[in-house]
């Protein structure tokens, strides 16, 4: 009985060591060569007098929220991961079928568990820096494999739109695979600015990725990832 009690007292410390990955050094980005955007399509649209907007990276954000799963999920943390370097172009045509957007996100620059972003989504704001470093390395190396797949891209089409509410067809390319989604969104357009907000759910399995797990699978990241996007673009020439 004494040995069992000692084991139970030591178990939380063992699990924390496994989950936090505190001993790992800070993750360092690698190659970030960008996939090209179809600039010619948008230049042709401008020549035809159509409205083309360029994404404002300073004001645009894409958030990815992950939860916990497994018998020991109470021992882990939910996470919020942010892309603060979204790039892209948006075409707003009088013919909705011609309207489109093309976006790209550099995965090696994702921001993990920034206190302000955690607070925005109702999470406890402060996590140990060592835990954030471990989460970043596990995400980049073991899940996204961002040294092989450094970018995510999205091609967007308007399926329907009424009174500023749109249904979008979004084709996401991530981890070397593509998956299509139907996404509701709110759209605001004026002669100078455009904004699109909404959310969608994707799965690790959609892109052949395996959620990170620890303690022999007793604690793991949930398969579903909630993506919340707030894209702001300015009209160009």
Interatomic CA distance for residues 43 and 237, integer angstroms:
8
Mean pLDDT across the chain: 86
**Per-residue pLDDT band at 17 (split at 50, 70, 90):** very low
Residue 107: the pLDDT is: 97
Residue 8: the pLDDT is: 41
The mean per-residue pLDDT over the stretch 34-57 comes to 95
Q: How far is CA 119 from the centre of its chain?
A: 17
Domain boundaries, the chain: 39-235
Domain 39-235 coded CATH 2.40.128.110: yes
Residues 79 and 113 sit within 8 Å (Cβ to Cβ): yes
Residue 169: the pLDDT is: 97
Model confidence at 155: pLDDT above 90: yes
Neighbours of 55 (CB within 10 A): 23
Instruction: Measure the CA dihedral 187/189/192/197, to 10°.
Output: -10
The residue ranges of DSSP E strands in 120-216, in sequence order, are 151-162, 165-174, 177-189, 193-203, 213-214
| 128 Rama class: left (phi>0) / alpha (psi -120 to 50) / beta | beta
Interatomic CA distance for residues 23 and 237, integer angstroms:
50
Please provide residue 183's backbone torsions phi and psi, each rounded to the nearest 5 degrees.
Answer: -130, 120
Per-residue pLDDT tens digits for 75-121? 778 999 999 999 999 999 988 889 999 999 999 999 999 999 999 99
The mean per-residue pLDDT over the stretch 173-177 comes to 97
CA-wise closest residue to 93 among 53, 136, 124, 37:
53
Model confidence at 38: pLDDT above 60: yes
Q: Beta strands 100-106 and 151-162: pairing type?
A: antiparallel
Going from the C-alpha of 227 to that of each of 64, 190, 204, 220, the distances in angstroms are 5, 25, 12, 19
**Claim: this prediction has a pTM higher than 0.85:** no
């Amino acid at each position: 009985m004494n040995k069992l009690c000692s084991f139970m007292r030591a178990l939380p410390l063992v699990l924390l060591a496994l989950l936090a990955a505190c001993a790992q050094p800070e993750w360092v980005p690698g190659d970030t060569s960008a996939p090209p955007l179809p600039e010619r399509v948008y230049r042709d649209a401008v020549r035809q007098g159509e409205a083309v907007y360029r994404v404002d990276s300073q004001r645009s954000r894409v958030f990815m929220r992950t939860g916990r799963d497994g018998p020991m999920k109470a021992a882990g943390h939910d996470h919020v991961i942010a892309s603060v370097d979204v790039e892209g172009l948006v075409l707003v045509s009088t013919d909705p079928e011609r309207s489109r957007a093309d976006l790209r996100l550099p995965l090696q620059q994702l921001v993990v568990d920034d206190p302000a972003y955690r607070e925005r989504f109702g999470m406890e704001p402060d996590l140990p820096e060592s835990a954030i470093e471990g989460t970043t390395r596990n995400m980049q190396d073991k899940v996204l494999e961002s040294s092989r797949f450094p970018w995510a891209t999205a091609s967007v089409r308007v399926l329907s739109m009424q009174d500023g509410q749109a249904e979008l067809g979004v084709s996401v390319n991530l981890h070397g695979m593509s998956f299509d989604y139907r996404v509701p969104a709110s759209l605001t357009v004026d002669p100078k600015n455009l904004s699109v907000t909404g959310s969608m759910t994707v799965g690790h399995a959609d892109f052949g990725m395996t959620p990170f797990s620890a303690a022999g699978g007793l604690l793991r990241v949930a398969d579903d990832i909630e993506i919340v996007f707030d894209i702001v673009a300015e009209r160009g020439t």
